[in-house]
Structure 1
């Protein structure tokens, strides 16, 4: 165990004979632990700006899933179902009986898979920029969306992201990205068994437009909410941590979600007109 001197420790656990690295906030905290789940080809390091702001909610854990960042690589890159199994194994190894899962991009399908497989282990889901589905198909369209998003992200993210992507490898990243585009994240959200909050950025080219989000959300159960951060792109855990942490804290505490005027971006909850369930 090593400390970063800012209230966090860096540790490893062994899963299936391989070392898995994670960051953990120090202090017990009163709330349910929050586990942050990173996107494809990149480690959890870019999630730290938001994680650091949420330590008042309880213990925060930011793992590098197997094959990413400081964690050992398996024999071949894991797909989304296998990464969900690995995330559950991390919860087991850290003795987290129940957690809030806060995913970004590919971390959202991973978190959704865990919630569907083991709903008793997931207190709540926060799905930030839940990529996947028809809005990211075919693959060439998704690659164009990804290229457009790169130009909209903060250049400060490059020192964290570029080494991770190079280590993961472009071929592996392309294969996993193709799998991600086929995962119907927003549709899967319609059947989530736990209270869930989707947080989208208005400048995220991988997300459907707000009117389409409302159409999808109108079919969702009452325990699904959607918030929008005006001015944010895909990796808003890094670019807009203050506003995201404000939204998440408000939702977890049962307070109305309102914009924090002191943070970049303007947050608002999308008003959803629910379609009555059949029967």
Structure 2
């Protein structure tokens, strides 16, 4: 049943739409926005609002978009921000058959169709990153940039028992408030759906799709993330492609960086979108520190 809570959980507007016959719950920047285009650039003649680039945030395995909100809310005034619960997840309805990674990517594209968005920058966490890579593979003209935060689903997370151990270790490294957000989502998603989707992720060519990206791509890793290999392996992978990839580490962060370190992550995303050097955010003091470990030769050069 479609319900918007009496007390919204977000500074974003909470809305419903229908995609392929499935009710989809999403959050969106409140107020009017201009058509898609560079930030600050004037819209078409007669347009009352400046044009704003669209940024869609895609959640991870078994979760809803709710845990992405701390970062998405910090960027809502700079980008036309969308945070959907993909079909089968969170408060959205369940399709007749569960969706695998390619089908989730197509559902994300059709959600943008529904919202009248031609192209967007996609920001994903964990499983959301393979969904973005698949979106870029099938819809390259519709993705401006990719932000892959703690990308998961590759061989490093196999078999299932290894992934479960990694998730258990990560749980002890996340803020306690993350479990209050995640637990209802996991319970709603259910064990059968978890097993089915994990099998789909093990068959997904994550590395091939990542290396096939031909757009500016930001990869953000947490130094305390047990689901990710170390920086040396990440550099090795990044160097295998004609490189459009910028790799950044946030020291002290675990897997759910969008939730636990929103200030640092939003700062890194802003710098990436403006082609600025990645420097730590002086307005987000604490144990976390952001720094580059790889800037590909084909990545847009940093503008001082």
Same fold (TM over 0.5): yes
The one-character-per-residue Cα deviations of 1:149-197 (angstroms, maximum 9, x if unpaired) are 1111111112211111101102211321333244343442111022111
Partner of 1:26: 30
Q: State the distance in 2 between where 1:42 and 1:167 align.
A: 9
The one-character-per-residue Cα deviations of 1:29-68 (angstroms, maximum 9, x if unpaired) are 6331100000111100000000000123211000000011
Change in CA separation of 1:105 and 1:220 when aligned onto 2, cut-off 3 Å: same
Change in CA separation of 1:230 and 1:184 when aligned onto 2, cut-off 3 Å: farther
The one-character-per-residue Cα deviations of 1:3-48 (angstroms, maximum 9, x if unpaired) are 9497521111111222111100124263311000001111000000
Deviates more, 1:143-152 or 1:87-96: 143-152
Q: State the distance in 1 between where 2:199 and 2:176 align.
A: 25
TM-score by length of 1: 0.92
TM-score by length of 2: 0.85
3-state SS of 2:212 partner = coil
Partner of 2:45: none
3-state SS of 2:77 partner = helix
Equivalent residue runs for 1:99-138 within 5 Å: 99-138=120-159
Please, which of 289, 293, 298 is the counterpart of residue 266 of structure 1? 289
1:133 deviation in Å? 1.7
3-state SS of 2:156 partner = helix
Equivalent residue runs for 1:1-40 within 5 Å: 4=8, 7-27=11-31, 28=33, 30=39, 31-40=52-61
Q: State the distance in 2 between where 1:236 and 1:271 align.
A: 19
3-state SS of 1:189 partner = helix
Please, which of 24, 48, 52 is the counterpart of residue 73 of structure 2? 52
Equivalent residue runs for 1:120-199 within 5 Å: 120-199=141-220
Q: Judge conservation of contact 1:204–1:233 (CA < 8 Å) in 2.
A: yes
The one-character-per-residue Cα deviations of 1:101-130 (angstroms, maximum 9, x if unpaired) are 000000000011111101110010000010
3-state SS of 2:291 partner = strand
Partner of 1:75: 96
Change in CA separation of 1:5 and 1:176 when aligned onto 2, cut-off 3 Å: closer
**What is the aligned-residue RMSD (CA, Å)?**
2.1
Q: State the distance in 2 between where 1:208 and 1:184 align.
A: 17
Change in CA separation of 1:157 and 1:5 when aligned onto 2, cut-off 3 Å: closer
Which stretches in structure 2 are left out of the alignment for 5+ residues? Answer: 40-51, 298-304
Partner of 2:269: 248
Q: Judge conservation of contact 2:57–2:82 (CA < 8 Å) in 1.
A: yes
Partner of 2:86: 65
